[in-house]
Amino acid sequence: MSKTDLKLLIIQPSHYRSKTDRTIFKTKRRQMVPLALPYLAALTPREWTVTLLDEQLEDIDFDVPVDVVALSAWTLHSPRAYDIAAEFRRRGVKVIMGGPHAFFYADEAAEHCDAVGVGEAEPIWKTMLEDAAGDRLQKIYRAAPLKELNDLPPPRYDLLDLKKFGPFRTFAVQSSRGCPFVCDFCSERFYLGGRYRWRPVDQMVAELERIKNKGSHFFFGESNFGGKKSRAMELMEGLVPLKIRWSTLWSSNLCLDTNFLDLAQRSGVMHVNIGIESIDEEMLQGMKKGWNKASRYGEMFDNLRKRDISYSLNFIFGYDDEHPDVYNATLSFLEAHKVPAAYFNILTPTKGTALFERMKKAGRIIDPEDIDRWPGQVCHIWPKNCTPGQMEQRIQTMYRKFYSMRSMVHRLPFPRTRSDMSSWILNLTERRMAFSSTGNNDFDIY
C-alpha cells in the first residue's frame, strides 16, 4: 500500500428495520449533524484522503477504490456493520471498527473485521492507520483513557454534504466525557469513562465560533452536561456572547438550582433531556438515583417553564417492585404537570452494568447477545409481573396515549415561543413513530 496515496472511507452504518426485516433503514434528511465521522476525519494524518459516508443518507459503493474502511458502530448498527465489512473484505479491502459496540464486543467484532479499536480514538487511531498502511494490523487495539481533553482537533464538517441535514440543522458537539454518577442500569460511563473530564472553555467556545456560520443550533451530546457544575457554568458564560441556541442532557438536581438555570437561559439553552426514570421514590433508590427527588418534580418543571426552557423526560419500567398502576399513574402525572415530552423505556440489562450481571446470574435475560441489536422497544428480560410481550404492549400503549392528539392539545401551549414550537415538533415526530405500523420508538431518524 503506497504511503503517499492512501484512501480512507469512514462509514456510519445504518441498521436493519427489524430482526426479521433486513431492509436497511434510510432517510432522505437528518436534523442532527453527527460528530463521530467528522471527528475521526480530523484525527486522520494528512497523507490519507478521507471520505465520509452516512449510510442512512447514502448508499455504499462497495467497488469504490479505497485502501481502508473504518466503521463506527453502536450495537444497533452491528448486524449491518458486519455485513458491510464482509462485502469490503471480500474485495480485499482492510476493515477496521470502533465505537461503543466494539468496546463491549471486541472479540465478536474482531471475527468480522481486520482490526478493532477499543476505547477512545485519540490514543490508537493514528497507530491503526499506520499499521493498516504497513500491512501489520493487530486484531485488537485498546486505548488507555485520556487524562485530559485539551487541544482536540476541530471536526472536519467540510467533508459532509450539509445540504442533507436540512436548513435548521443541529450540530452534535462534545464538551465533556464521562459521568460522575453510577446508575444501576447505565453502561455509558464504561466506554466514556468513569472519570469526568471536560474541554477547556476557550477551546470549546472557539470550536463553536468556527461552526456557527454553518448553523446556530448545537446539541451537547454527552452523558451529563452539568457533571461538574462550576465548569458547566463557566462554559455557559462563554456561550452568552455567541448568541446560539443549544440543547443537552443534565441531571434533575440542576433544575432546582435557579442560578444555574438563569445562566442556562441567558446562554441560549432551548431544550434539555432529563433522566428522572420514575415518579416513585423507592424505585429511584433501587436504581441508585437517589438524587432524583420525586417530591420536587413539580418545582423542577415550574423552574424550567418560567425560563421558557423546553424539556423531555426519560422513564424506565420493568423493575420487580414497581406498582402495577405505575403506567397509568405516570401518564396522569405527566398530563397534570403538562410535561412537553417523555420517553418510556423498558428496563434493559446492557452489557457491563451491575443490572446485567444480576439478571444473567438469575437466568432472566432472554438472549444476552441479542440486547440492543434491533430498533424499537424490545423486552429482553423475563419480567416478574408480566410476560415480555405484555411489557412491550404496555410501553407501546403509553406512547400512543401520551402522544395522542388529545394529550398533546392538553399538555402543550399554543406555539408562541421557539421553545413551544420545539415541543410541538418533537411531539409530532414522536406521534408519527408511536402510531407507525411497528410502534418502534426509533431515535435514529434524527
* Of 221, 218, 266, nearest in space to 241 by CA: 266
Strands 68-72 and 6-12: parallel
Per CATH, is 6-142 categorized as 3.40.50.300?
no
Question: CA 264, 156, 102: angle at the middle one, nearest 5?
Answer: 85
- Check pLDDT > 90 for residue 329: yes
Overall average pLDDT of the 298-305 stretch: 96
406, 334 contact by CB (below 8 A) = no
18, 375 contact by CB (below 8 A) = yes
Q: Return phi, psi of residue 409, to 5°.
A: -65, -35
In this predicted structure, what is the pLDDT of residue 168? 80
Cβ-Cβ contacts under 8 Å for 104 (sequence gap 6 or more): 75, 187, 190, 191, 351, 352
DSSP single-letter state for residue 184: T
User: What is the residue extent of each domain of the chain?
Assistant: 6-142, 168-445
Overall average pLDDT of the 285-291 stretch: 79
- Check pLDDT > 60 for residue 439: no
Q: Cα–chain-centroid distance for residue 158? A: 23
In this predicted structure, what is the pLDDT of residue 422? 84
103, 118 contact by CB (below 8 A) = yes
pTM (2 decimals)?
0.92
Considering only CA atoms, give the Rg of the chain: 22
168-445: what fold? pyruvate-formate lyase- activating enzyme (3.80.30)
108, 138 contact by CB (below 8 A) = no
In this predicted structure, what is the pLDDT of residue 292? 84
How big is the chain, counted in residues? 446
Overall average pLDDT of the 292-315 stretch: 94
In this predicted structure, what is the pLDDT of residue 57? 95
Q: What is the mean pLDDT of the chain?
A: 92
